[in-house]
């Protein structure tokens, strides 16, 4: 059982990884996880392991990604690994162990086993679901301005996302709503920025055929 846990940190999509201290792949970086308990379900197991091993408990979303079973993926013998995609909202800062770090997905260090491929698969899954579901709720804090939300989408999608266009699209799909509150203007003045929230913080398919494409 392994988890690809993403969070937007400093406007970059980051993944939680830890440095292995023993063979195989000693010194390389790996995804957190462990063995499935005899009486556990898969989702229950990965949540337990994230809480116990890297102190991550604030997952806003968790879903099964894929199972990897290449005969040569582990030099110590054949093993199967089921990976999960987990999302932690921006603004939360879990207290992780000293051997564990958040690293930008675009700047991964040398990874153990096939874990880099798992990170790539998870990023593709997230990018796809941002187009046709409301999964952005799991990247954002409970309330946000459209400028903030567009930065989260830009970090996850890998291309620019205009706040005005994103607002129009997500309102039309019924994903977000105004809170009726706003952020006070800064020192430069200007109109206070309206605060929004996702209508629900549970996964919904809102437009099965939509694609958020990069600007032409």
Each domain of the chain, given as residue ranges in start order, spans 2-132, 135-198
Using the 8-state DSSP alphabet, how is residue 215 labeled? P
Q: What is the CB neighbour count within 10 angstroms for residue 156?
A: 23
Strand-pair partners of 33 = 2
Residue-level pLDDT at 186: 65
Helix axes 163-172, 146-157, angle to 10 degrees: 90
Average pLDDT, the chain: 92
Alpha carbon 69 to chain centroid, angstroms? 24
Higher pLDDT, 76 or 4: 4
The predicted structure's pLDDT at residue 181? 95
Whole-number pLDDT of residue 195: 97
Query: Does the 135-198 domain belong in CATH 3.40.50.450?
Result: no
Question: Does residue 76 register a pLDDT over 90?
Answer: no
Q: HSE on the CB side for 209, CA within 13 Å?
A: 0
pLDDT at 187 over 70: no
Contacts by 115-118, CB closer than 8 A, 24 or more apart: 115/2, 115/17, 115/29, 115/30, 115/31, 117/68, 118/2, 118/4, 118/31, 118/65, 118/66, 118/68, 118/81, 118/83
Percent helix, strand, coil in the chain, to 5, is 25, 25, 45
75 pLDDT above the threshold of 80:
no
**Fold (CATH) for 2-132:** Nucleoside Triphosphate Pyrophosphohydrolase (3.90.79)
Give percent of the chain above pLDDT 90.
76
pTM exceeds cut of 0.85: yes
Q: How far is CA 36 from CA 40, 57, 81, 172, in A?
A: 7, 18, 10, 42
Q: Which of 127, 112, 142 is nearest to 33 (CA)?
A: 112
For helices 146-157 and 115-132, angle between their N-to-C axes, nearest 10 degrees: 140
> How far is it, in rounded angstroms, from Cα 198 to Cα 134?
8
For 103-152, what is each residue's pLDDT tens digit?
Answer: 999 999 999 999 999 999 999 999 999 999 999 999 999 999 999 999 99
Mean pLDDT of 65-86: 85
| CA-angle at 155, arms to 17 and 44, nearest 5° | 45
CB 176 within 8 A of CB 198: yes
Q: Is 147 helix (H, G, I), strand (E, B) or coil?
A: helix
Nearest to 41 by CA among 1, 88, 85, 4: 1
Residue 113: strand, helix, or coil? coil
Cα–Cα dist 125/39, whole Å: 29
């Amino acid at each position: 059982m392994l988890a690809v846990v993403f969070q937007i940190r400093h406007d970059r999509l980051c993944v939680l990884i830890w440095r292995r201290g023993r063979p195989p792949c000693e010194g390389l970086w790996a995804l957190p996880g462990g063995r499935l308990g005899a009486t556990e379900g898969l989702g229950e197991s990965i949540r337990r392991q994230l809480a116990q091993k890297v102190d991550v408990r604030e997952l806003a979303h968790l879903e099964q990604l894929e199972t990897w079973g290449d005969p040569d993926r582990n030099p110590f013998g054949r093993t199967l690994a089921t990976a999960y995609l987990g999302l932690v909202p921006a603004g939360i800062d879990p207290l992780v162990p000293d051997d564990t770090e958040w690293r930008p997905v675009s700047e991964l260090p040398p990874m153990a086993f096939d874990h880099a491929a798992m990170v790539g698969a998870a990023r593709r899954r997230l990018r796809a679901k941002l187009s046709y579901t409301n999964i952005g709720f799991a990247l954002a804090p409970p309330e946000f301005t459209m400028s903030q939300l567009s930065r989260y989408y830009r970090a996850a999608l890998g291309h620019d996302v205009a706040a005005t266009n994103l607002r129009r699209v997500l309102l039309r799909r019924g994903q977000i709503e105004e809170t009726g509150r706003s952020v006070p203007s800064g020192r430069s003045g200007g109109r206070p920025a309206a605060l929004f929230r996702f209508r629900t913080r549970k996964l919904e398919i809102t437009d099965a055929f939509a694609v958020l494409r990069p600007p032409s």
